[in-house]
Amino acid sequence: MSHFPRHAAAYLVHLPDEDAAHEVARLLTERGHTAVSVREGVPDQPFHRFYETSWKVTALDAGPYPDDDVRWWTAVETRIVKTLAAERGGSCTLMQAVPETARALLPDGADDRPPAEARAARLAALSAAPARAPRPVITYRLDRPASGGPSGTPVPLPGLDDVDWPSLKHAYGSAEDTPDILRAMAANDEGWDEATFEYFSAIVHQETCYSATPPTIPFLARMACDPVMTPEYRLELLADLAYIASFDPSPAAGEEPAPTAHAARACREVVGALPALLSRWPEAAPAERAWLIVLGALSPAAAAPLLPEFEGFRRGLEGPSPALDLALALAADDEDRACGLVLDCTTWDENISWHLADDTPPRCRNLTVLVRLAVDELPRG
């Protein structure tokens, strides 16, 4: 049963020349887009703030879609439009709004076909694309570390005052307050939630790292390794370290980060802490072990001594585990298997497909996908 989405998608395709613009306009019309127009790139609303002069194609996708999985079909169409643009040296922007508003954003677009004809073309264009596959159902359960609540025993952070924090920056300016944030986390008490909120507001903010971020990583790792750390907090730290490393995992692919590449430098610090983190494997609870496998994927060299135990742990879990299967492939440096597993994930998660369009090395893309899968699949504290 076909479905009309509540929100229409208004596309702007930005192209270098007139011939490419008219070709893309023709292809979008054939795909059932309406309100299609081609213009030379004089400033215009609503997109002029993004681009300078060039040729522009605007088009409206108001459906219908093959079924009511709107997010899936919007992602399918957006990837196709972006590909059409990229193949011709262009780029694509998408805005979504209710159909009446979206149509008003494209005042010059022509609607010279009967609506039924455009709708038939829309469905025909999408008929070649597969619908979303069923998402794997995670049936295994991982025991979390036993805990009686915050221990209140502080974790020592030697060297914290040796860092020139005032010379560094975080999201709100000077990083001079960073030692206080880290000490509040290391206090290992009921103030943990507030302290971690401060960390992920200032030191890491909306997946952005700053010059203060990399020097904090060794202290987070020290907290995670200390036996007095409250188990739930340790589990959260392991997940957080993997998360931060995923912003720019290029050092895990052998690249040396530039001095101002703060996210890459943070990843390098996580990789440097792996021997200490992985040394916790013998006493780690199952939920911790799962995150240690994810972290081990950052460095096959660091993971190698534990790889047989990683594999044995996975064999002990019944049912699918996209995150751990991908982590094991990356930890074993089996990039072909890793790429195949990521490709499988694109059949049921439209967000993963965007990573395949990046021009970053496959290992970097796969590591980023791994952490996204792990965040969805594994307990985090």
Amino acid 78: pLDDT: 94
Residue ranges covered by each domain of the chain: 8-126, 160-377
Give dist(CA 262, CA 211) in Å, integer. 6
Topology classification of domain 8-126: Alpha-Beta Plaits (3.30.70)
Give dist(CA 62, CA 36) in Å, integer. 12
Give dist(CA 138, CA 48) in Å, integer. 46
Residue by residue, pLDDT tens for the chain (381 residues) are: 789 999 999 999 999 999 999 999 999 999 999 999 999 876 544 544 444 558 999 999 999 999 999 999 999 999 999 999 999 999 999 999 998 898 888 877 777 777 788 899 999 999 989 999 999 999 999 988 877 788 889 999 999 999 999 999 999 999 999 999 999 999 999 999 999 999 999 999 999 999 999 999 999 999 999 999 999 999 999 999 999 999 999 999 999 999 999 999 999 999 999 999 999 999 999 999 999 999 999 999 999 999 999 999 999 999 999 999 999 999 999 999 999 999 999 999 999 988 877 778 999 999 999 999 999 999 998
Give dist(CA 220, CA 241) in Å, integer. 8
Say if CB 227 and CB 190 are below 8 A apart.
Answer: no
Specify the DSSP class assigned to residue 66: S
Amino acid 42: pLDDT: 62
Amino acid 211: pLDDT: 98
Amino acid 40: pLDDT: 87
Amino acid 48: pLDDT: 47
Amino acid 52: pLDDT: 52
Amino acid 381: pLDDT: 80
